[in-house]
Amino acid sequence: DIQLTQSPSFLSASVGDRVTITCRASQGISSYLAWYQQKPGKAPKLLIYAASTLQSGVPSRFSGSGSGTEFTLTISSLQPEDFATYYCQQLNSYPTFGQGTKLEIK
Amino acid sequence: QVQLVQSGSELKKPGASVKVSCKASGYTFTSYAMNWVRQAPGQGLEWMGWINTNTGNPTYAQGFTGRFVFSLDTSVSTAYLQISSLKAEDTAVYYCARVNDYIWGSYDYWGQGTLVTVSS
């Protein structure tokens, strides 16, 4: 199985901050990576697919980059509704998820 | 609009079985595969496997063979997850999620989740 390691696991930030979350794969996955946002008690929501393509309806302050084994999700200016847990997922082989990054208000 | 609506919460005793449903609407059910994802309390997302909605052929992730069964009723656009011989460690929220091959196999729609609680 391909392992995904997200860093950091916890992140404290303020409204307006720029934040970056990293996802590293245990082997190359080309650009078969997606990012999801999950709020408490809710289903995950797709933000980005193919490593860098914004899903329809997702605000442009979210962006993704990377290929191969290292990927990043960046939120350019945090809004109050962005405080949530973020997961990366690889789809190159049998899917796996990263362990999650909880983004909290400072 | 696309919707995946799951059945309600379940409270089961150890050793019992449970069947979770996921009813799709707003699209052609057999055009998109369905995945199942587990989330234990306070934990992350875990891929359980998927079912080909054309053929009914299921694929199970490691750790989800034997007691877990994916099935379909295409006449009512519904996917099912059945878990037998329930254990306390099966307590979790179970999600169905539609796979969209047009966006590199990402999961563009999710059910609202079904909480299964296993307790004596």
pLDDT, one tens digit per residue, over A76-99 is: 999 999 999 999 999 998 999 999
Beta partners for residue A36, in sequence order? A46, A87
Tokens encoding B44: 């992350």
Question: Any CB–CB contact under 8 A between A87 and chain B?
Answer: yes
Predicted confidence at residue B52, as pLDDT, reads: 97
Pairing of strands A10-13, A101-105: parallel
Say if the Cβ atoms of B45 and A89 lie within 8 Å.
Answer: yes
- Res. B62 pLDDT band, cuts 50 70 90: very high
In chain A, residues with a C-beta closer than 8 Å to the C-beta of B103 are: 46, 49-50, 53, 55
Closest CA to B13 of B90, B76, B71, B69: B90
* Across A8-26, average pLDDT: 97
CA–CA separation, A31 and A25 (whole Å): 11
Chain CA centroid to CA B75, Å: 18
How far is the alpha carbon of A56 from chain B, nearest alpha carbon, in Å?
10
Contact, B90 vs B106, CB < 8 A? Answer: no
* Poorest-pLDDT segment among B17-21, B71-75, B77-81, B98-102: B98-102
> Given pLDDT bands bounded at 50, 70 and 90, which one contains residue A42?
very high
Share of chain B above pLDDT 70, in %: 100
CB neighbours of residue A49 within 10 Å? 26
Judge: B44–A97 Cβ closer than 8 Å, yes or no: yes
The reply to whether A21 touches chain B by the CB within 8 Å rule is no
